[in-house]
């Protein structure tokens, strides 16, 4: 972290060429353009008023003042005409950012390449090759990203076919798209769902189909409620026994559904407590451990897991008979 005075100095080095270019400018506009508050600009201007420098004689080098909400710069002998080049840290931050932006938002990937060259020019260093990668998203996603971005911009209602993990099925619903949200490996659409009648988060890779209905929507007042799951049901808890190493893997990830992990049980097992409103979701959570996970309670979850596994088993056996296997 930089010292406050270094930050102010850095801001001054941006303010001076700005004022040189503008001559006179509204205080509020200067503040907005330079991402400062009005009082910060005032403070920097006051600072400039004190900066005199021999051998230019007794006169102040910078003649600068605030009057009736405007900033004026009358003289700035010897002042830098443009901001300083990027520091290597600044160049690295932007190289990393543009690199990741190109990976996450396919529509900017062309611009990202050009930007890295320009950032290198601005820093007077060689272009940094950033060995950094975020996980790959499926191709179809690029399509949904631009589809929903334009739906958000135009306030267009979309009809989507969505696979909800919690109900383990596809369903059709109309949504009013509000925002796109990249979180920990996945793109989500935050939208008002007309089926659930509230804001819901939809994972973009689970959108099977989306079309505009042709209707546009009026902005709704922001809901104070957290976006809901796309599935309706009461929350319940379940305790599941898992091999310790599997539990540790979950424990490393700050998962919202994971309430607690208890290590050190017999036979190298751990107990996790999960909370969910969806029975199908918990069942599939248990199934994916291939028998290494056992639901302790409640009974209705135990039964649901056994039934799901039994149904799948019968399907396998049926198929074996059909093919004479």
Partner 1 sequence: MRVGSQRIERLLNLLTFLLNSSVSKSAEEIRTSIPHYRASETQAAFKRTLGRDMQALREVGVPVEVDDGFNYRIEPKAYHLPLLNFTEEELSGLALASRIVSNLAPSLQEAAESALRKLSFGSWEDMRRAEENETDLEFQLLYGRGGLKPEKLQVLMDAVLNRHTVKVRYWARTSHQTTTRDVDPYGLVIHDGQWYLVGFCHLRGDVRTFKGIRIRSLSLSKPSQPNRSDFEIPQGFDLQAHVGVPRWSHPSFTPSFTAKVRFDKEVFWWVRENWGIYGSIEEEADAGILSVEVRDPDAFVDAILEFGRHAEVREPKSLRNKAISALERIVEAHR
- Closer residue to partner 1, CB minimum distance, 68 or 288: 288
Q: How far is Cα 195 from Cα 174, in angstroms, rounded to an integer?
A: 7
The pattern of x and - marking residues 193 through 232 that bind partner 1 according to CB under 8 A reads ------------xx-x------------------------
Task: Give the other-Cβ count within 10 Å of 25's Cβ.
Answer: 18
- For residues 12 and 44, the answer to whether their CB atoms sit within 8 Å is yes
Can residue 267 be called a binding residue for partner 1 (CB under 8 A)?
no
Binding of partner 1 at residue 263 (CB under 8 A)? Answer: no
Is the Cβ of residue 140 or residue 235 nearer to partner 1 in the bound state?
140
166 with 282: CB under 8 angstroms?
Answer: no
Q: Rounded to the nearest whole angstrom, what is the least distance from the CB of residue 216 to partner 1 in the complex? A: 16
Strand partners, 294: 241
Site string for partner 1, 128-167 (x = CB under 8 A): x-xxxxxxx-xxx--------x--xx---------x----
Piece of the chain touching partner 1 by CB under 8 A; list 64-72, 215-223, 228-236, 280-288: 280-288
Q: Residue 64 pairs with which residues in a beta bridge? A: 73
Neighbouring residues of 271: CB distance < 8 A, sequence distance ≥ 6: 239, 240, 241, 242, 247, 261, 262, 265, 296
Which region among 64-72, 93-101, 214-222, 226-234 touches partner 1 (by CB under 8 A)? 93-101
- Identify the residue among 75, 96, 211, 265 touching partner 1 (CB under 8 A): 96
Residue 295 dihedral angles phi and psi, to the nearest 5°: -75, 125
Give yes or no for residue 275 binding partner 1 (CB under 8 A): no
Rounded Cα distance between 282 and 309, Å, is 13
Integer Cα distance of 214 and 160 in angstroms = 13
Query: Per CB under 8 A, which of residues 30..49 are in contact with partner 1?
Result: 32-35, 47-48
The residue within the footprint of partner 1, chosen from 65, 182, 236, 257 (CB under 8 A), is 182
Residue 257, interface with partner 1 (CB under 8 A)? no
Work out whether 236 is an interface residue with partner 1 (CB under 8 A). Answer: no
2 contacts: CB under 8 Å, gap ≥ 6: 10
What letters, b where the CB count within 10 A reaches 16 and e where it falls short, cover 142-173? eebbebbeebbeeebbbbbebbbbbbeeeeeb
Binding of partner 1 by 50 (CB under 8 A): yes
Minimum CB separation of residue 320 from partner 1 in Å reads 8
Q: How far is the CB of 145 from partner 1 (least distance, A)?
A: 9
Instruction: Rule CB under 8 A: say whether 312 interacts with partner 1.
Output: yes
Minimum Å gap between C-beta 214 and partner 1 is 21
Sequence-ordered list of residues with C-beta below 8 angstroms from that of 139, at least 6 positions apart, any chain: none
SS3 state of residue 156: strand
Smallest separation (angstroms) from partner 1 to the CB of 33:
4
Give first-to-last CA distance, the chain, whole Å. Answer: 68
Site for partner 1 in 51-80 (CB under 8 A): 51, 53-55, 61, 78-80
């Amino acid at each position: 972290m930089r010292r406050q005075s270094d930050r102010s100095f850095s801001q001054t080095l941006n303010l001076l060429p700005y004022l040189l270019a503008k001559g006179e400018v509204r205080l509020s506009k200067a503040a907005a353009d330079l991402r400062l508050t009005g009082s910060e600009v005032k403070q920097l201007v006051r600072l400039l008023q004190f900066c005199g420098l021999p051998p230019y004689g007794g006169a102040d080098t910078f003649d600068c003042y605030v009057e009736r909400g405007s900033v004026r710069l009358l003289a700035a002998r010897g002042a830098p005409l443009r901001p300083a080049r990027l520091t290597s840290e600044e160049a690295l931050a932007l190289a990393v950012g543009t690199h990741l932006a190109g990976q996450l938002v396919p529509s900017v990937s062309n611009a990202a390449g050009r930007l890295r060259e320009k950032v290198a020019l601005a820093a007077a260093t060689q272009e940094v090759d950033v060995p950094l990668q975020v996980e790959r998203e499926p191709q179809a996603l690029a399509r949904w990203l631009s589809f929903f971005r334009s739906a958000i911009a135009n306030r267009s209602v979309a009809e989507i076919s969505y696979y909800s993990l919690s109900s383990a099925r596809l369903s059709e619903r109309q949504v009013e798209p509000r925002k796109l949200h990249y979180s920990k490996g996945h793109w989500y659409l935050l939208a008002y769902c007309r089926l659930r009648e509230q804001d819901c988060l939809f994972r973009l890779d689970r959108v099977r189909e989306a079309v505009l209905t042709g209707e546009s929507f009026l902005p709704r007042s922001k809901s104070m409620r957290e976006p809901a799951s796309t599935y309706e049901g009461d929350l319940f808890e379940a305790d599941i026994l898992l091999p310790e190493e599997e539990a540790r893997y979950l424990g490393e990830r700050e998962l919202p559904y994971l309430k607690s992990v208890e290590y050190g049980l017999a036979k190298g097992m751990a107990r996790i407590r999960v909370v969910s409103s969806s029975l199908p979701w918990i069942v599939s959570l248990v199934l994916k451990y291939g028998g290494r996970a056992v639901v302790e309670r409640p009974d209705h979850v135990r039964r649901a897991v056994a039934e799901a596994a039994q149904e799948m088993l019968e399907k396998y056996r049926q198929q074996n008979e059909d093919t004479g296997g």
